[in-house]
Structure formats: structure tokens, C-alpha cells
Amino acid sequence: MNVGLFIPCYIDQFYPRVGLATVDLLERFGATVDYPEQQTCCGQPMANTGCQDDARVVAEHFLQTFKDYEYVVAPSGSCVAMVRHHYAGLFGTDARVEAMAKKTFELCEFLTDVVGVEQVEGEFPFRVGLHNACHGLRELRLGNPSEHMAQPFNKVASLLAGLRGLELVELSRSDDCCGFGGTFAVSEEAVSCQMGNDRLADHESAGTQVLASADMSCLMHLGGLARRQNKPLAVMHVAEILAGYEVPQPSPARS
Amino acid sequence: MSHATAAREFIADSQRTKWHDETIWFVRHKRDLAAASVPEWELLRSTASAIKRHTLSRLDEYLEQFEQNAIRHGIKVHWARDAAEHNEIVLKLLKEKGVTNIVKSKSMLTEECGLNPYLEAAGIEVVDTDLGERIVQMRKEHPSHIVLPAIHIKKEEVGELFHEQLGTEAGAADPNYLTEAARNHLRDKLLNAGAGLTGVNFAIAETGGIVVCTNEGNADLGTALPPIHIASMGIEKLIPRLEHLGVFLRLLARSATGQPITAYSSHFHRPREGQEMHIILVDNGRSGILADEDFNRSLNCIRCGACLNTCPVYRRSGGHSYHATVPGPIGSVINPVRDPAKFESLPFACSLCGSCSEVCPVKIPLHHQLYALRGVIAERGLLPLSKRAPLWFATAVFRRPWLYRAGGRMARMVLRCLPRALVYNRLNPWGRQRELPVVPEQSFRRAYADRQAKRSK
Ligand code: SF4
């Protein structure tokens, strides 16, 4: 398996550990990973603001960068949803776009659906609160969203379930949005933060020690709120947990 | 006012916001339980969606069929191109009969047409008989929810309002007591009304009849005595055959409130003896939406309100923050489709979580329509500079990998070194309540390159 690794711009700049954990995992399960240096962004911020022409420019760059790989994998549900579902709207019928949509995967989905990993060996003796990020859940169907009446499943949770000592906490609202939403987090700041604080409150009463998600953008928002309020909550990308990385010490707000 | 500004004002009262969110989430939760109790729920949704799409694809034929059948049964049918025409028709009918006071059962369409103020200006007393609607009417407000019009008001506030206007005991907040007081007050109005107005939940082409769903039975009460019944319906309320009704009735109440069925599903198929019955078919922009291929599925809507209840933004910002008759996800689609300049901020009052599309009983892809509408707003040049400018900049960076690398390095350095006051200030809405990420020494790109170099040694 020849994998082109896509590390979204904000993960590249702010969360290198998440990228490294992603590489570790992919290699552990037999993939040959290559990180094309030319990559930047998938175009989601532009597209989500309605700036389709700008999004097309950035998306074109993405298509060029990743055209020759067998698979493209990213530790981010929302970027993958962008490529899989929204590129078609930008380019119309385009064989390159169709091919890219077929071969681009979110990390957990790639591990379960393509590699066939059922459980991951390891140990993580903590109470983990899984934040089911909306785009992964409802656009990529990494799990069954609570609104939809069907057999429940959750690909991210089942990967985590293999770790010894890990306990997934039960939330009162399993998949309410955290309020990040890309540029929404800035343009609707008040609602966004209210939503985030409500999510944090749910995790606190459920006894979450480590707040985990397959989408770092949600964690950037939730973690940012938690740190401002000096909450004793560690925040980790699922890749870091699966790869066996240590729990980071919550760092207090910088003065 | 933009949605964001109005939402900020609502959220400033954090107690009310919390209570609003929890109350409405409770309704969403009841909906989940009710939906889960129907094994074929998802099949019902697809069926309902298919019936609606079929109907809309030949709406003209079905409307004609409906009109013919209604007329055959002695119902008078009127057509209104817009709100003004609708209101004129109602007033004309009332004047012909010399009616000066009317009772209304809940209708978002008459709300959309601004019927109440129009009739009141013409000297007609209008009383909304749905309890929640009556409360907002007494407060001179608009409904903040399409199914639960007074959901933004606490029972203590209702107690105060009734004390002032109906003379109930001061400080009373017991729902039973207050409801009883409202009933007595409404009974009077119902007994003496000159006309009864209702909305329409479903109109059946095959039979020429209409169905009105209420939980309080006020549509029946309001039409049982007066000599004239006027029903206002949007042209999209049509379904082809009586046999389709069951699909929608099963979905409507469960989606709306978690009840298996609304307490009263009243069928009106001909005028009562001695009564006149009128139906006004209102377009008011609907044919425009129908012609718009990207957005016409929004006409599937049966106004159950489930998308409002599930919407994490609506729950925190309240219905009035949308400044439109229909708030929430569906309102954020239909209002800007009609008037993008006026409702430019609504498609952005959404984190694109997609919950509305999953919950919608007629499968309107609401969040994808909101996403597409952002494109329409941008294309028409209606995007405020505050949203536009940062993305111009970002695009310029993202298309040039060298600039992205250099810019990223610089930004991280600057973020690490700048004093806190320069990072966290009024120009940085992110930082009002949130920390920025802890800036690492190295980007992933560098860390990975280092690691590969070490390996190949
Ligand atoms: S859009 Fe769907 S969920 Fe929302 S009110 Fe209409 S029918 Fe109900």
C-alpha cells in the first residue's frame, strides 16, 4: 500500500505529534508512507465561506500534489469530507476528482476499511471521552449518528476499544456539535464558544480524563476553551492514543 | 442585524441560554425515542421524500386537481400570488360578511404574510387561539419556533403576562393554573368569533380536502361555530392521494414533539351546513423556489420543527436571532433563497454539523443547501469584507507552497514571541474565550524530515 500522507495545514503548524503518530500507525500496519512536500491545504476554509473560485485554486493544487498515489490518508475527517464530497461541486464532472474521492480516506476509516484492522494492541489506562466530530460522523459515516435509526456502529471507538485499560465514558449527548465549524468559530464566536463549553461540561460530568477525537480542529477549539479555564483535561488526537503516545500534561494558559 | 450579533445578545443571558438549549434538547431526545420505536422509520423518510418530490415535479397538475375537487364539494378556492394578495382576499371575505372579530389557529403562513397587523389596521380583532401563539401575541412578539412558538418564554414570565392582561394571581407560575386561565379567556373569544381562520398541514389533490393538525383542538373549536372558515395554505402543502397522508402523519408528530400522532388531525372536506368554507392557495415566492433546481427540495418541508430542535446553533441563539418568520436550518435556507441580500448572514449561522439533514423527516439535505447558499452569497458580492479578506490572503498563501512554508514558520515564531496582549485583543475573536494552540518549535514537515534523515543514516 502506497500512501500519500495529507497533513492538514493547521496540524502541520500546530500539532506535529499528530502527524508523526499518523505515520507511525500507517507504517505499523504495513503501509509505505510518503509525505509530498508541496502540499498545503485542501481548500475547505474557502469553500465553507462560499468562495468557490478560491477553493478551486487550492483544490487544484491538492489534486496535482496527490495524483500519483494509490491512497491518500489524512488524520482529519473534515478535510477528507471536503475532498470526497465537495470537490465534485467545484469541478463538475472530472475524472481526476472522481478518482481522488475514491482513494482519499480518513485515518481510522482507512485502518478499518482498507487495511482491515479490527483492534489495535496497546495500553491506555484512562477514562477517554470520544468527541465524535460531525464531518467524520455524518459526512463520512465513521459511525451511526444519533439521529439516524440504524444499527449503531463506531469505527473510531472500535479501534480504541482494543487498548487495555481504556474506558470510554458515556456522554449525555453522544454527538452534539462542539461548535468549531471552521470560520464559524470566528464569525459566530459567541455561539461557537457556548457550544464548546456545553460539550466540555458533558465530558466533565461523565468523568473524561482524556478528551479524544479523530478531528484535531474540534480539539483545537475545545482544548482552547479548556485551557483558558484551566480545566484539568488532557486533549489527544485518536492517532496519538492508538500509536501509544504519552498523555500530554495540560499546559496552563500562557501569561 | 446579523445573526451573530443577535445571537451574542441572546447568549449574554447565560441562564436563559442554558435553559433554552436543555428544554429544546429534551424535545429532540423525545423525537429520538419516538423515531426508534418505528422499525421502518428510515423507509418512511425515504417514502415521504419521494412522494414530495414527485408532487413538486407536477405541482401544477395536482393543484388543478385539488381545486376542481374542492369546488365540487362546495369549497371556494382563491389564488394569491403574494402576501398582499392573500391579506386582501381575507379582508374582503370578512368585510362581505361584516365580520369584526376572528379567531385563528396556528399558521406560519399567515405569520409570513403579516396578516395580523394588516387586519388589525383595518379594525378587525384577531385572536390567536394556540396557547403559545396567544402568549407571543399578547407580548406583541413573533413566534420564535414554528411548532413551539413561545419556547423562549419561561412560565414565570407567562404568569406575569397573564397577571397583567388576564388578571390572574400575581406570581403564579403553575402551568395548569395558567393554562386554565388562558382557556377561559379563549373560550369567550371562540364563542363569539365572526370567522375562523386556520392554516393547512396537508391538502389532498385526490379529494380536494385539507388536514389541520393541532394538539389543543383549537382549529376545530375555532371553525365549529363561526359562519365562515378561511384556510390559508402554501401551494407546496399538497400531497397527491389520501393514502399518502398516513406516511406524513406518522412522521410529523414524532419529528415535531415525539408524540406518536398529534392530538387532533382534523379533516375538512366540505363546508359544514350553513357555513362557508374558503381555501386560499398562496404562492408568495414558492414558484420561484420551485424553479430553482439547487434549492427546490426545501419545498418538501412539512414544518415539523425537528431541524430547529436538533440544531446546536438554534438551541443556543434562540429563534428571534434569525429575524425571519421561519428560523433555524430550514429558515436559513428558504429566507436567503428568496432574498439573499436581506438574509445574507443566515447560511453562515451554521457549523455544518449535518444533524438537521439526518433528522429531517422528508430528507431535505439542509446542511448541503446551506453550504451551497454560501456560494450564492459570495458570488453575488454579498459577503462582508471581514469574511472575504482573510480568505483572499489564505488562498494566495496556499497556492504557493514556498510561501506557505515561510509564512507558517514566521507565524509560529511571532506567536511564540509576541507578548500576550498583542495576541489576545479585540481583533482576535478566537482568543476572547479560547487559548490558541501551544506553538511547537517545529512544524510536522520539519519533524518528519528530521526523522527520515535519521532513519536513512
Ligand atoms: S426542514 Fe425538515 S426537519 Fe426542518 S421543519 Fe421542515 S420537515 Fe421538519
Is B390 a member of any domain? no
- Number of domain units in chain A: 2
Spell out which residues of chain A touch residue B25, defining contact as CB-CB under 8 Å: 173, 176
| Same domain? B234 vs B329 | no
- Number of domain units in chain B: 3
Q: Which residue's alpha carbon is at the smallest distance from atom 8 of ligand 1?
A: B304
pLDDT in tens, A72-81: 999 999 999 9
Is A251 a member of any domain? no
Is A253 a member of any domain? no
ipTM of the complex: 0.96
Query: Cα torsion for B325, A187, B14, B132, to the nearest 10°?
Result: 10
User: Given A70, A86, A114, which residue is the final one in a domain?
Assistant: A114
| Same domain? B264 vs B304 | no
Query: Which residue range(s) make up the domain with B327?
Result: 298-380
Angle at the Cα of B380 (from B382 to B343), degrees rounded to 5? 45
Is A41 a member of any domain? yes
| Same domain? B265 vs B326 | no
Is B237 a member of any domain? yes
User: Given A57, A84, A114, which residue is the final one in a domain?
Assistant: A114
Is A79 a member of any domain? yes
| Same domain? A181 vs A238 | yes
pTM: 0.95
> B205: Cβ below 6 Å to ligand 1?
no
| Same domain? B11 vs B77 | yes
The minimum CA-CA distance between B99 and chain A, rounded to whole Å, is 47
Q: Which amino acid is at B203?
A: A
| Cross-strand partners of B80 | B282
A251–B438 C-beta distance less than 8 A? yes
Q: What is the CATH number of the domain that holds A127?
A: 3.40.50
| Same domain? B411 vs B364 | no
| Same domain? B151 vs B119 | yes
User: Given A114, A142, A176, which residue is the final one in a domain?
Assistant: A114
Closest of B22, B357, B432, B27 to residue A202, by C-alpha: B22
**Closest chain A residue by Cα to residue B44:** A149
pLDDT in tens, A197-245: 999 999 999 999 999 999 999 999 999 999 999 999 999 999 999 999 9
Spell out which residues of chain B touch residue A11, defining contact as CB-CB under 8 Å: 444
Long-range contacts of B152-156 (CB under 8 A, 24+ apart): B152/B16, B152/B20, B152/B318, B152/B319, B152/B320, B154/B16, B154/B19
| Same domain? B63 vs B174 | yes
Is A255 a member of any domain? no
Which of B313, B379, B429 is facing A186, going by the closest CB pair? Answer: B429
Instruction: Enumerate residues 6+ apart whose C-beta is below 8 A from B59.
Output: B235, B236, B238, B290
- pLDDT score at B386: 80
| Same domain? B360 vs B243 | no
| Same domain? B229 vs B302 | no
Spell out which residues of chain A touch residue B377, defining contact as CB-CB under 8 Å: 50
Query: Which residue range(s) make up the domain with A87?
Result: 2-114
pLDDT at B455 over 90: no
| H helix intervals, B82-210 | 83-96, 108-113, 115-121, 131-138, 155-166, 175-192
- pLDDT score at A203: 98
- d(Cα B143, Cα B124) in Å, to the nearest integer? 21
Which of A16-30, B167-181, B305-319 bottoms out in mean pLDDT, i.e. has the lowest? Answer: B167-181
- d(Cα B205, Cα B202) in Å, to the nearest integer? 10
- pLDDT score at A69: 97
- pLDDT score at A253: 65
| Same domain? B42 vs B177 | yes
- pLDDT score at A255: 52
| Same domain? A213 vs A197 | yes
At residue B409, the 3 state secondary structure works out as helix
Higher pLDDT: B395 or A75? It is: A75
| Same domain? B8 vs B133 | yes
